[in-house]
Structure 1
Amino acid sequence: MYEKYYGFRERPFQLTPTPNWFYASKLHKRALAYLQYGLSQGEGFIVITGDVGTGKTTIANQLLNQLNQDEIIAKQIVTSKLEPDDLIRMVASSFNLVVTEHTKASYLDAIYSYLKRLHAQHRRALLLVDEAQNLPLASIEELRMLSNFQFNGKPLLQSFLLGQNELNAIIQSPDMEQFRQRIIASSNLSALQPDDTKAYIQYRLQQAGADSSIIHEDCYPFIHQQSKGIPRKINTLMDRVLLYGYLEDKKQLNTDDVQLVIAEINQEVANLHPSAPMPPSSAADNTGISHNVSTALNSMIEEKLKLLQEMDELLKKQQKALQQKESKPFD
């Protein structure tokens, strides 16, 4: 909506991870370096954890974007609470493997045969497991068992686990000792520091083809405080700030503008959670929210909620289809 107004080539603060827009803070550089190191080792597990929105999936996409497809066949799966048998099915499906009998032995045999074919071609397989904190202990153990597939002493499958901070507690369980011994590197992503928040915003504005001066220097502390340095929250807030600027015909945005948008977001949160206190904001008390801005933002929120509902329905249908397809129990 506001791209042409500010001269952007595309929206600078999209929520969908984009490899070409990867901003490498110190922590993100370290996590990516661990992934690259693990990849060079060709064995073991790499574990990347962090709070929601800190950039785990973005880092995974960055790694996938750098891979040589002639050497490594990489597949990424996003897990829900998959039991071990369902996880095996999903792994086989991600590599487009077909079985004649829907038994666990058949799926494992198909995976092993496929991995051996890759090995004969001087290639190997990489599995990136996103949202791994959703997996039961038994399913994580199943991933460890898959890592036992070898040929002539060389591992055939390597897995990277990406998950929220709860994954750390799962891995530290007494029952996960064997899995922990297979971890060759791990990293935890935390929020951006104030300087990185500013650099992140300026980088994305410049990538979009605009001058970062459209955001006044004094705005950054407010943006960092509201977003807590979480990249996804920064994107959401900045998207709203730019939309406000477009609707109010503001080529440059100052602290009053940012505080006004923050006040509206806080009000929306308070409306969704009536028991939660709303942080005070002088901008909201003294300035108020224009009717045009409020209407446009409400419309945008309704569209996003509708999209989330559609995605949820699609996920439910996919899970139901998988259950129906594999109606026979494993032997």
Structure 2
Amino acid sequence: MYESYYGLLDKPFRLRPDPQFFFGSKGHKRAMAYLDYGLAQGEGFIVITGEVGAGKTTLVRNLFRKIASDQIVAAHIVNTHVDSDDILRGVVAAFGLPFEDSASKTTLLARLEAFLRECDGQGKRALLVVDEAQNLTPRVVEELRMLSNFQTDDKPLLQTFLLGQPEFRATLHSPGMQQLRQRVIATYHLGPMDELETQAYIEHRLLTVGWKGDPSFTPAAYAAIYQFTGGIPRKTNHLCDRLLLMGFLEEMHAFTDTDVDMVIRDIAQEFEAPAEPPGDPALDPEHAVFANQYPSVLDERMLRLEKSMGSVLSILKKIVRTPAGANQVMDGNQ
């Protein structure tokens, strides 16, 4: 919607992980270095943890984009709400092997081992990446550890990367995980970006889609974005996407901290619990206060909605008046 208004080639702040927008903050560079180190070692487990929305899945997508398919066969598991029997089927399926429900565990293990040995015979290594590892039970983690026992005389046939939220560390350090810990060759916790990195991250994503300074952000606007998001990439994407949408509706080309705060309030209101309908003030004093305030709150939101709709209609009228505008409408519908 707002891309053509600001002359952008694509949406810069999509929520889905996209390696095209990978930003190398200090934390993300170090996390990638650990993953690259793991690939170079060719054995054991690498564990990467981070808060929700910190960019762990984007790391995986960026890793897959970098690895040579003629050297490494990679599989990615994201559905981790499974039991110890289903995780084996998940691994087999992730490598593209048949996994019929009637197959026994012995059959699936034999099928996976044959595949891994075939990869080794072709000069390739097998890499398993398990995302959302915090959902794994200790028993499921132990099943994954057992798969690392597949090996030739001089090297393992399968390497595993585990990525999850911080609570996965509790699983990793539980009493029954000693054998797994002995096979972990590196761990890293991916923290949030700092304030300067958050500004650089926003500008990086905008520049990736052809940003030429429109819209602009004041230093206070960047500071307000960081204060709300805490440097978490996903939260930053959500807020900035809404900010540009408001800018389009209000025909704005520069954002201040006041504009950012307005969007933050709108987001907060959307996730508020519905207010109870006003009751009889004579029976409930609290409802009396609400009833007195409710009309003004409603009027304010209606005025803002009318203003936004008026802006949209104004833009459409300008577009319709010119032949070039007709092309813009067609482009916008595409």
TM range (shorter): 0.7 to 0.9
Indicate if the aligned counterparts of 2:46 and 2:187 stay in contact, CA closer than 8 A. yes
For residues 241-272 of structure 1, what are the alpha-carbon distances to aligned partners after superposition, in whole Å with 9 as ceiling and x for unaligned?
00000000112222221111111112223236
Indicate if the aligned counterparts of 2:45 and 2:160 stay in contact, CA closer than 8 A. yes
Aligned position for 1:239: 241
One-letter amino acid matched to 2:130: V
Aligned position for 1:230: 232
Aligned position for 2:174: 173
Aligned position for 1:111: 112
Aligned position for 2:251: 249
Residue 7 to residue 30, structure 1, CA distance change in 2 (3 Å): same
One-letter amino acid matched to 1:150: Q
- Any residues of structure 2 matched to 1:50-61 within 5 Å, and which? 50-61=50-61
Residue 180 to residue 121, structure 1, CA distance change in 2 (3 Å): same
One-letter amino acid matched to 1:20: Q
**Which 5+ residue runs of structure 2 have no aligned equivalent?**
277-296, 310-334
- Residue 95 of structure 1 and its aligned partner are, at CA, apart by 1.2
- Output the CA distance in 1 between the equivalents of 2:221 and 2:272: 23
One-letter amino acid matched to 1:178: Q
Moved more, 186-195 or 112-121: 186-195
Indicate if the aligned counterparts of 1:99 and 1:106 stay in contact, CA closer than 8 A. no
- Output the CA distance in 2 between the equivalents of 1:46 and 1:116: 22
Q: Does 1:11 align with 2:11?
A: yes
For residues 267-320 of structure 1, what are the alpha-carbon distances to aligned partners after superposition, in whole Å with 9 as ceiling and x for unaligned?
22323699xxxxxxxxx9xx867105878xxxxxxxxxxxxxxxxxxxxxxxxx
- Output the CA distance in 1 between the equivalents of 2:272 and 2:22: 33
Aligned position for 1:138: 139
Aligned position for 1:207: 208
Q: Which runs of 4+ in 1 moved over 4 A?
A: 292-295
Residue 293 to residue 264, structure 1, CA distance change in 2 (3 Å): farther
Q: Normalising by structure 2, what TM-score?
A: 0.81
**Which 5+ residue runs of structure 1 have no aligned equivalent?**
275-283, 296-331
Q: Normalising by structure 1, what TM-score?
A: 0.82
- Output the CA distance in 2 between the equivalents of 1:255 and 1:137: 46
One-letter amino acid matched to 1:290: R
- Output the CA distance in 2 between the equivalents of 1:273 and 1:120: 65
- Any residues of structure 2 matched to 1:190-205 within 5 Å, and which? 190-205=191-206
One-letter amino acid matched to 1:77: I
Aligned position for 2:88: 88
Indicate if the aligned counterparts of 1:79 and 1:135 stay in contact, CA closer than 8 A. no
Residue 132 to residue 99, structure 1, CA distance change in 2 (3 Å): closer
Helix, strand or coil at the partner of 2:47: strand
Indicate if the aligned counterparts of 1:54 and 1:189 stay in contact, CA closer than 8 A. yes
Indicate if the aligned counterparts of 1:126 and 1:158 stay in contact, CA closer than 8 A. yes
Aligned position for 2:322: none
Aligned position for 2:42: 42
Percent of pairs with identical residues: 46
Residue number among 217, 220, 244 corresponding to 2:219 in the alignment: 217
For residues 52-109 of structure 1, what are the alpha-carbon distances to aligned partners after superposition, in whole Å with 9 as ceiling and x for unaligned?
0000001111101001000001010113321111000111111121268610000000
Indicate if the aligned counterparts of 2:49 and 2:164 stay in contact, CA closer than 8 A. yes
Helix, strand or coil at the partner of 1:270: coil
- Output the CA distance in 2 between the equivalents of 1:88 and 1:20: 32
Residue 17 to residue 71, structure 1, CA distance change in 2 (3 Å): same
Indicate if the aligned counterparts of 1:247 and 1:292 stay in contact, CA closer than 8 A. no
Residue 99 to residue 252, structure 1, CA distance change in 2 (3 Å): closer
